[in-house]
Structure 1
Amino acid sequence: MLKGNFFRGLGYLGEGFRLIRQPRLRLFVIVPLVINVVLFSLLFYLMAEGFAILIATVMSWLPDWSWLQALDWLFWLLYGAVILLMLAYGFVIVANLIGAPFYGYLAELTEQHLTGQEVSTEGGWAAILRDIPRALWRELQKIAYYLPRALALFLVGLIPVVNLAAALLWFLFNSWMMALQYVDYPADNHKVSFPALRRLLADTRLSALGFGVPVALAAMVPVLNLVVVPAAVCGATAYWVRENGSTRK
């Protein structure tokens, strides 16, 4: 039986958007935001170029029956949705690889703001630079978890008829990944391993999906996806404090 509260989870991203307006947190929002603008522009161009090639390849696999060829609009719709979801999380992966040290520190400051307690934030910029290798290693663990599952879903999406469910499966998987991605920052600050984090979120899966769904949706909206990352970090920290505060180790 799924545990947690889906509707409570929905509220954390909105809280994150309120938190990023706090004066003490703004600097750690602006710097990654500039990075995100550059990355998204490049990633969008590359994905748009590859999209037309993908559709042409899939259509060439079908028999030369007029009624099947006439379904190319359906393939554009279905694969367009899948590509959009891939772009959304692909953008998150690349942006977080570069912004991870900032986001870890942002999560620390956010938790301190929410709880009024120190969360070992000493060191400032020196601490951010020192944490770069560890933060990158943590991001690589998430990518290693994501890629084989994403590949399996992508292959399912290439199968005619079966691919009708591919977009929904991608969205649910992306929502789960968004929760894992961002709650990992406060969890890492408390030395919780990535496998342990997955178990913690699985214990309150409905709350995790409730948080992940609006993040996944926002990540697909141009411009909004540029600011959703720091807001999601702050929202995920609020999630961590309230959903997992009693189970932290």
Structure 2
Amino acid sequence: MRDFGAGFGYLVRGQKWVGGHGRWFGFGLLPGLVTLVLYAGALVGLGYGADDLTAWATPFADDWSSPWQGVFRGALTGLVFAFGLFLAVITFTAVTLLVGQPFYESLSEEVDRSEGGEVPESGLPLWRELWISARDSLRILVRVAFYGILLFACGFIPVVGQTVVPAIGFCVSGFFLAEELTAVALQRRGVELKERLRLLRGRRMAALGFGVPLTLSFLVPFVAVFLMPGAVAGATLMARDLRGENADRDEDPEENDREGGNLPPFGGDQGVHQIPHWRRNP
């Protein structure tokens, strides 16, 4: 659970970062607003058409007596809409990132710059970056669709389908949402999809801690739009740690504290701090 908390910490730090950089927050809102309008229209259409879709897909239930026909088709309609919402949550990020590739890449670079060290650049033309992003998003969507169909089928299992299955669904959504968001920073570093997934599986609980709360918050209208800039910033911070880019800063915490004025130089009268760290840790 500690790693889960660390993942949530990246999300919080990302929101704080954009909160302190108002220009970048406004800059990152634009792609989400465009995508939200498109998805809102699609979900409204699904809401109106789900009943007809269910009736068309279950002609064998036309002759069922009441109330069994209504109960069966009502439950199936709910599952269809839930499945559509599940796909919307996952693909919303992918589509928003695709629409806002130049916006979010610039934001991610600024986060790297604020953290110090090098600011990686892909060196690829925009059309090539868009192609790679679209290709990887499609690969993720195939994986998500597989899990979605499996969970959809499991939803018919009594009790388990109404309790355990939704919880697993949110975990699946959260993991792949974390992948989509960290891809902004990792793709600039030349990290391929297979390696990105390996890195996240190595920190699975951190990925869930980052992605699951974000997935839940994305269910609230308009929240996704306002959280996206901070989510990209937090994912960049997470990507840096996944790649060990902050390791050098953490190798000698005493030296970092001394530079920040928290510890006296060697030779002071602070006990253990008089001994060089290479003597204390052979």
Note the alpha carbon deviations across 1:65-105, whole angstroms, 9 max, x for none: 54532424443444443332222223223222211232222
User: Which position in structure 1 is the counterpart of 2:17?
Assistant: 19
Contact residue 82 and residue 170 of structure 1 kept, 8 A:
no
Report 1:206-245 matches (<5 A).
206-245=205-244
Change (3 A) 1:207 1:67: same
Displacement, 1:213?
0.3
User: Which position in structure 2 is the counterpart of 1:82?
Assistant: 83
Displacement, 1:217?
1.1
Q: Which has the larger displacement, 172-181 or 100-109? A: 100-109
Change (3 A) 1:49 1:166: farther
Aligned amino acid, residue 141 of structure 2: Y
Q: Which has the larger displacement, 190-199 or 69-78? A: 69-78
Q: For residues 194 and 2 of structure 2, what CA distance do their matches in structure 1 show?
A: 19
TM-score (norm 1): 0.80
Unmatched 5+ residue regions in structure 1? none
Aligned amino acid, residue 117 of structure 2: Q
RMSD: 3.1
Contact residue 14 and residue 235 of structure 1 kept, 8 A:
yes
Change (3 A) 1:102 1:79: same
Q: For residues 68 and 247 of structure 1, what CA distance do their matches in structure 2 show?
A: 60
Displacement, 1:177?
0.8
Change (3 A) 1:216 1:91: same
SS in 2 for 1:26: helix
Q: For residues 61 and 111 of structure 1, what CA distance do their matches in structure 2 show?
A: 58
Say if 2:112 is the partner of 1:117.
no
Relative CO higher for 1 or 2, CA cutoff 8 Å, sep ≥ 6?
1
Q: Which has the larger displacement, 225-234 or 178-187? A: 225-234
Note the alpha carbon deviations across 1:127-168, whole angstroms, 9 max, x for none: 89x324313322321322322441453265157724825533
User: Which position in structure 2 is the counterpart of 1:7?
Assistant: 5
Displacement, 1:9?
0.9
Q: Which has the larger displacement, 152-161 or 95-104? A: 152-161
Report 1:153-168 matches (<5 A).
153-154=148-149, 157-158=152-153, 161-162=156-157, 164=161, 166-168=165-167
Q: Which has the larger displacement, 142-151 or 97-106? A: 142-151
Report 1:82-231 matches (<5 A).
82-113=83-114, 115-120=115-120, 130-151=125-146, 153-154=148-149, 157-158=152-153, 161-162=156-157, 164=161, 166-231=165-230
Q: For residues 59 and 150 of structure 2, what CA distance do their matches in structure 1 show?
A: 17
Q: For residues 132 and 27 of structure 1, what CA distance do their matches in structure 2 show?
A: 24
Contact residue 109 and residue 121 of structure 1 kept, 8 A:
no
Q: For residues 202 and 160 of structure 1, what CA distance do their matches in structure 2 show?
A: 26
Change (3 A) 1:90 1:57: farther
TM-score (norm 2): 0.72
Change (3 A) 1:53 1:228: farther
SS in 2 for 1:54: helix
Displacement, 1:18?
1.8
SS in 2 for 1:20: helix
Contact residue 78 and residue 167 of structure 1 kept, 8 A:
no
Unmatched 5+ residue regions in structure 2? 248-282
Contact residue 111 and residue 119 of structure 1 kept, 8 A:
yes
Percent of aligned pairs with the same residue? Answer: 24
Displacement, 1:171?
1.9
Displacement, 1:206?
0.6
Change (3 A) 1:119 1:171: same
Q: For residues 9 and 172 of structure 1, what CA distance do their matches in structure 2 show?
A: 13
Q: For residues 168 and 53 of structure 1, what CA distance do their matches in structure 2 show?
A: 28
Q: For residues 51 and 242 of structure 1, what CA distance do their matches in structure 2 show?
A: 43
